[in-house]
Amino acid sequence: MNPLIVVETDSLMQDRLRSIFERALGLAQDLVCFTENMADACRLTAARQFGLALVDIGSIEMDGTETIRCLHRGDADLPILALSGPSNRQTVLAALQAGASGYLLKERDDGEIALFIRSVLRGGCPIDPFVACHIVDVARQAAPILPSVFPTPPLSPREMEVLHLVAKGFANREVSNLLHLSVLTVECHMKNIYRKLEVKSRTQAVFEARAVGLLP
C-alpha cells in the first residue's frame, strides 16, 4: 500500500488523525506522513508516490486550495480529501475545482472520518452532506442545459461505461477488472473523459456529466 500524506497545521487534529489511522484503519505510523505547509507537501509528493492526500483548507497559516492545486498538478491521479471547519460556498467550490476528490468537515466524529477516508482510498468521491448543500444550490442556480446542446454524447460508449463505474465509486483497478481492460487502458479513457468534459478530477467529471445529462 502506498503511504498517505496529511497536510495539517493543527497539532490536535494531527493527533486525532493519527489515532483514526491506527485504530480505525489499522495503518502503521510509517505509512502516514505529516507536514504543515504546501512547499513540503509538494516536494514530498514529487519524490514518492502516495495513495491519498488529506489537506486542511481552513488554516490561516496555509493556502489549502493552492496546496490542493499543487498536488493535483503534480499527480492528477492522486486522491485528495479536503478537510475544513464550517465552510462557505466559495471555499467548497474552490477546493473541488482545484482538484479535491472529496470534502469533509472536521466536526464529524472519528468513525465518519474513517468512512470518508476508506471511500477515497477505494476510488470514491465522498462529499460531506452539509457541503453537498452548497453544490446543490449552485446546480439549482445554473442555467438548465437543454438536450439539444448535446445532440450526441461527447463520450464514446466505452468511455461512458468507465464513467458510470467511476460515478459508483470504483477505482481504476476495479473498473479494469469489471470491464476486462488493462489499468493503463482505463487510465487512458479517464484522461479522454477529463479532456472532453474539460475537467481535472474524478469528482468534477462526475459532477459535469450529471450537469449535462450524461449521468443520472
| Domain final position from 91, 109, 139 | 139
* Torsion on CA atoms 88, 193, 144, 164, rounded to nearest 10: -90
**Full domain range(s) for residue 131:** 4-139
**Residue pLDDT tens, the chain, 216 long:** 789 999 999 999 999 999 999 988 888 888 899 999 999 999 999 999 999 999 998 776 678 899 999 999 998 889 999 998 876 777 888 888 899 988 988 889 999 999 989 888 888 888 888 777 767 776 666 555 444 444 445 788 899 999 999 998 899 999 999 999 998 899 989 998 998 888 888 888 888 888 888 887
Does 96 lie in the same domain as 161?
no
How many domains does the chain divide into? 2
Cα separations in angstroms, 69 against 55, 73, 112: 11, 6, 25
3-state percent breakdown (helix, strand, coil) of the chain, nearest 5? 55, 10, 35
Does 105 lie in the same domain as 196?
no
Does 153 lie in the same domain as 76?
no
Q: Is residue 216 part of a domain?
A: no
